[in-house]
Structure 1
């Protein structure tokens, strides 16, 4: 068991999959000789060969189309899109082919494909390198969308995604790649998909988040605890399909809910979660649901980046608002 950063846990899960499943193939821009722009695939081509870890041209549509063809013919490709700002050209391939292959062939073919991509702001990157497009892919029938928030969950969830018979969009928060380390055992044990993780028990308010925002939410929960407020923290992890039952059970206990995400507010997944709570858990609520989100603008350059990302102060303000309110 070793202490690993999130990007190292991703590398470990990829190496385990390559070693134990000969059908697993990696492909993407600069992932072989250079180990990827964030070194998530460092050393894998030297270890497993250029036929298992393939460097591709700078052509996202080509990467996606090739990976879908591989998946349809029985391989388990893991394709990397270098930044989520570059992911939009593959929407046609993913929506019209990967996500529909099982339906179109009445189950004769599946598409066991994983598309990995670093996402989110917080590393002082330029435009097109700081996107959070999870809601875009969650809207597409036939896809799973996963976003880990720690090294251990990155390892276990990526293993599960690679073993899934259907396409998975696996978004890795860039800000967390080397933010902290965690003990990770290379035991090949996958974590369950389609399941929220309750990271902290509480009775006064439910805080729901995913990806990098879990860090701000946990810090907010610590400050609330110092004031005698017990916040329950839920990491959604699999954004589609959504484990709403875990969230509803928490809201039934606390009566209040604050949803936090980095993506823009309008049509973000926070709205879907809030609607589901309103539909199925309205009578549990003691106060209106609050959302703390990014803004409906392009992620700004680094001078204003910290103003865009939801802060601990904004989360605390939303919590205090819902604690003061009553239905």
Structure 2
């Protein structure tokens, strides 16, 4: 019978060191399985990036830029008859497709990264088969997070409206109560709270795939795992969010110039292709680094030894932690 695996004591690393290890390990895993992640990216991330890059300007152009050759009354009749409704339905379908592609990409890439991290064979077929069991868990977890966010927004809005109605009865003159100030404060509180929840829930998707949980359980589990690494999680979220936003903004600006000058649209098409490719890379590394961060957080909480023991029995395993040249060693002893 195997004795419990023991994790050799090591000096606690800061979140900066751990984040550096996450980045290096993410690059190593992608480099070691380039063709595998390329195939998954073509299947899921490339269509998602095309939707993100091309859909917003395509849907906004007919609404914001009516046909100048049509008379105003005909333009109005066309827009009233079905233009806005058709555009809304198209946007809804595009959003649903993007959400489905994002969930599928998160499921298969999380499965592949865990296999690659522990040295198991990484196969596209196995990753696709994992969708049948992990996709619905990711969907229910995402819906649970949306319910919590909606409830949080409703509470903040209710408090804001209550203050506007109650403060005049407490002696505050209506002229001194600027609704704009209250609305700005409420929006700031809402945004800060949403960012805090996003940091705490950053690993919820990985938990849903790796630990077969769904609903609110992955949210609570993620909040526990990120303790001690919240600043690192925030840095990852900000980096990938800003990078994606800049790329999509550059694509939108290029599309706007193409609408105004179609003869010179060839460079813009090149820009769209380039921004789609860059978006794929950003999304891929975002998903990979989140999964690696989950593994590192489990190790920091002392939860990885049992999993390592199961994967590598009768072995001494040096985990890829760069803890100032003090590696974490898992020793498994069999009797």
Coarse TM-score class (shorter-chain normalised): under 0.3
- The answer to which structure, 1 or 2, has the higher relative contact order (CA under 8 A, 6+ apart) is 2
Which structure: greater strand fraction?
Answer: 1
Tell me the TM-score normalised to structure 1 length.
Answer: 0.23
